[in-house]
Amino acid sequence: MAGVVVVGAQWGDEGKGKIVDWLSSRADTVVRFQGGHNAGHTLVIGNSTYKLALLPSGLVRGGKLSVIGNGVVVDPWHMIEEIAGIQAQGVEVTPETLLLADNASLILPWHKDIDAAREAAAGEAQIGTTRRGIGPAYEDRVGRRAIRVADLADPAAIDLKLDRLLAHHRPLREGLNLPEPDGAKLKADLLEIAPTILAYAQPVWKTLDEKVRNDERILFEGAQGVMLDVDHGTYPFVTSSNVVAGNAAAGAGVGPGAITYVLGLAKAYTTRVGAGPFPTEQLNEIGERLGTIGREIGVNTGRSRRCGWFDAVMVRQACATSGVNGLAITKLDVLDSFDEIKICTAYKLSGEVIDYYPAGLTDQTRVEPIYETMPGWSGSTKGARSWNDLPAEAVKYVRRLEELVGKPAALVSTSPQREDVILMRDPFARA
């Protein structure tokens, strides 16, 4: 049995969609274990581009079972829309190819209302949410008032949950100047879509347990990045769930022994969407070049990503908190045109050199990056599929990242195309 977890080792947008799609050729099942439809994954296959937010990336590669785990908060209306969208592109989606955990919590229209209103009311203290209701949905889950997938088959359960939801949401909405919540309408809307959603609903923990016992290969797909983890990220500028690899077991309903390898993804530089500290950000021509060449636009939000040099301190810390075994370096080709490249190797804080990212918000904004400069390369890395195809300076750059992060490179991605990957170590071969 082999269970590989894919996590982002930066602030998300590291190219997980492509890497998960590539690895899924070696897997039997692909599982999403946290987040919601705020996770934009782009897959480029030939002349076709698939943009996923909620659905596991493995769906696009035929013959694989895809699972939405209990750790994901699910907008059922978006799920229906996203399924229809990729079906229109020729991807088969059926209850035989896609399973939805029956104990997953739902994102409701009320959650999106609150998310947007609270963010707007925060003014300069906004944290840059996608306003898709992810955070409020997780709040209701922890508050034990969430409507879950299984409840769609039980109108009486919806009534019970609605009483608790209304007791919480009425005063909250009143304080945010939102209209009175209409419980009857929400129930009617949920029951209308219930048959479509319930067709995919299963006790997925049971299915995954059978696959573990049958020694099958499972790929666990995370969303966002470790530095957006609600505990280990740049709090409060984080997502509302645990992104670290340890959550893959809880968010899928398997034991920790089902995980045999953790692959940490990192761009060859660094990007971030939305607000929050960013030590190596380049608010200059370099940042603009990285963004232009790398086409750094959010898949879901359409927002331009902030760009900067590779931060080895941050990636090393993300690898430690997620138990990363190997790295996948993505977008190496974006650096092809740079004469010199910088890497952050440490921080300076109040005159002291430190080798970690502090937890305090003020300290996170005050750290100063200490850079090491390496020469760029004149040749092209774009489309390379062999280590020997890379310019010598590009090889040295990857090797230096390995040294600074303390993890070996397992994969290097050299373009958005599915097969443009250099494989050094197969994560599934570990077990």
Among all residues, which ones are annotated catalytic? 13, 41
106-to-7, 167, 259, 392, 429 alpha-carbon distances in Å: 23, 18, 27, 50, 36
Strand ranges in 268-367 using DSSP code E only, listed in sequence order = 270-272, 306-308, 310-311, 326-330, 340-349, 352-354
**Two tokens, residue 113:** 């209302």
**Integer Cα distance of 271 and 268 in angstroms:** 10
Q: Are 289 and 197 in contact (CB under 8 A)?
A: no
60-to-48, 90, 418 alpha-carbon distances in Å: 11, 9, 11
Give a three-class secondary structure readout of 97-109: CEEEECCCEECCH
Give a three-class secondary structure readout of 215-276: CCEEEEECCCCHHHCCCCCCCCCCCCCCCCCCHHHHHHCCCHHHCCEEEEEEECCEEECCCC
**Two tokens, residue 339:** 């004469």
**Integer Cα distance of 215 and 166 in angstroms:** 45
Phi and psi at 346, nearest 5°, equal: -165, 175
Q: Which amino acid is at 404?
A: L
Q: Which amino acid is at 341?
A: I
Write the DSSP symbol of residue 298.
-
Burial class from Cβ neighbours inside 10 Å (0-12, 13-18, 19+) for residue 336 reads middle
